[in-house]
């Protein structure tokens, strides 16, 4: 007697069976919440292109951090929006500037119960919107920018950041930041390298979130969407310079890159589900075209399945709440 091979289907028969045999699982600790704080606000300010996401005040940011701890979220990545900008992004170095103050405030609120991460990049702080300072011809000056990144990293570490996230894609940024941290006594401050960060059309809503002053694009220093092998080279360079973790950004449109990096990386791998990816799902759900909760969960699970150890997502706290319910 022959028996049809229905073995895969037998393992799908009930929700309990599917949970038991799932190859990948999400947990709140896998999630990192990106959060924006804007200088001078008296009330949280909604971001029109990212429904449900706001520019925080000090108090609302502290509440969001405390909620993340309660839900078991792994970390929070902080981005600051200053009231004043200049060509050098000097507000990024001010100990009382919006981002450094936010790090201190969150650290005072939650201590070491949440991994506090700071964005080490000048794009929010410059009046031209680029991730570094410009030379006389209008190109980003890599080496001059590195000097500022080192100072910025130390300022954030002084404020209490556990992890620094250099996102500017400057050559040599990890080595410079690692050296600056070592020399300033911050030997235990980790570095999450935005190692494979692509120039993407999906960053649009983020530009609203940080009130970006950018005219033009960042294609001369962020990666070309056509390139796959180059991502491994970028990751290898950051690992050689001392990165403690590496990131692929964006996530959903670059799952092949994420899988490649996860296969070769000896350190934890993060992926950033970026603003445009968030906005697309929210817009489709608002129109009744897709099931919102199902789409959110499936999208983040897909990033995890592709190899991410941790996922930066604007749904981190909401998703963590769902995971705790299940």
Whether the CB-CB separation of 281 and 32 falls below 8 Å is answered with no
Other CB atoms closer than 10 Å to residue 289's CB: what's the count? 10
- Confidence band for 96, pLDDT divided at 50, 70 and 90: very high
* Domain contains 138: yes
pLDDT by residue (tens digit) across 174-185? Answer: 999 999 999 999
* Domain contains 250: no
**Bridge partners, 247 (sequence order):** 270
* Domain contains 226: yes
Q: What is the pLDDT of residue 6?
A: 66
Summarize the confidence of residues 145-167 as an average pLDDT: 97
Summarize the confidence of residues 282-310 as an average pLDDT: 98
Q: What is the pLDDT of residue 1?
A: 53
Q: What own/partner pairs with CB < 8 Å and gap ≥ 24 does 315-320 have?
A: 315/273, 315/278, 316/31, 316/32, 316/33, 316/34, 316/68, 316/73, 317/33, 317/64, 317/67, 317/68, 317/71, 317/73, 318/52, 319/26, 319/28, 319/31, 320/28, 320/31, 320/68, 320/71, 320/72, 320/73
Q: What is the pLDDT of residue 2?
A: 60
Quote the CA–CA distance of 256 and 264 in Å, as a whole number.
13
Summarize the confidence of residues 154-170 as an average pLDDT: 97
Q: What is the pLDDT of residue 162?
A: 98
Number of domains in the chain: 1
CATH code for the domain in which residue 65 is found: 3.20.20.70
* Domain contains 183: yes
pTM for the structure as a whole: 0.95
Known catalytic residues are 197, 249
Q: Hey, what are 295's tokens?
A: 């789409």
- Confidence band for 249, pLDDT divided at 50, 70 and 90: very high
pLDDT by residue (tens digit) across 184-236? Answer: 999 999 999 999 999 999 988 887 787 778 776 788 889 999 999 999 999 99
* Domain contains 209: yes
Q: What is the pLDDT of residue 81?
A: 95
* Domain contains 7: no
Range of the domain at 121: 25-245
* Domain contains 20: no
* Domain contains 216: yes
């Amino acid at each position: 007697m022959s028996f049809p091979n229905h073995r895969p289907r037998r393992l799908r028969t009930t929700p309990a069976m599917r949970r038991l045999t799932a190859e990948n699982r999400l947990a709140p600790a896998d999630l990192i919440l990106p959060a924006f704080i804007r200088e001078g606000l008296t009330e949280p300010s909604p971001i029109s292109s990212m429904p449900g996401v706001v520019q925080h005040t000090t108090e609302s940011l502290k509440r969001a951090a405390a909620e993340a701890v309660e839900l078991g979220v792994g970390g929070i990545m902080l981005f600051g929006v200053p009231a004043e900008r200049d060509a050098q992004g000097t507000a990024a170095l001010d100990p009382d500037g919006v981002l450094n103050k936010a790090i201190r405030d969150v650290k005072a609120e939650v201590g070491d119960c949440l991994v506090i991460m700071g964005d080490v990049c000048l794009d929010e702080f410059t009046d031209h919107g680029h991730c570094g300072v410009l030379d006389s011809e209008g190109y980003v000056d890599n080496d001059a920018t590195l000097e500022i990144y080192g100072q910025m990293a130390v300022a954030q570490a002084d404020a209490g950041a556990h992890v620094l996230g250099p996102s500017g894609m400057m050559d040599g940024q990890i080595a410079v930041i690692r050296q600056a941290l070592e020399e300033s006594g911050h030997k235990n401050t980790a570095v999450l390298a935005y190692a494979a960060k692509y120039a993407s059309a999906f960053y649009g809503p983020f530009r609203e979130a940080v009130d970006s002053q950018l005219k033009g694009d960042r294609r001369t220093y962020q990666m070309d969407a056509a390139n796959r092998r180059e991502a491994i080279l970028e990751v290898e360079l950051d690992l050689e310079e001392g990165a403690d973790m590496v990131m692929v950004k964006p996530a959903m449109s670059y799952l092949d890159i994420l899988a490649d990096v996860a296969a070769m990386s000896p350190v934890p791998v993060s992926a950033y589900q970026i603003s445009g990816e968030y906005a697309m799902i929210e817009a489709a759900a608002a129109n009744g075209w897709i099931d919102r909760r199902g789409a959110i969960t499936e999208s983040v699970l897909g990033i995890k399945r592709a190899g991410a150890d941790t996922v930066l997502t604007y749904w981190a706290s909401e998703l963590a709440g769902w995971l705790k319910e299940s």
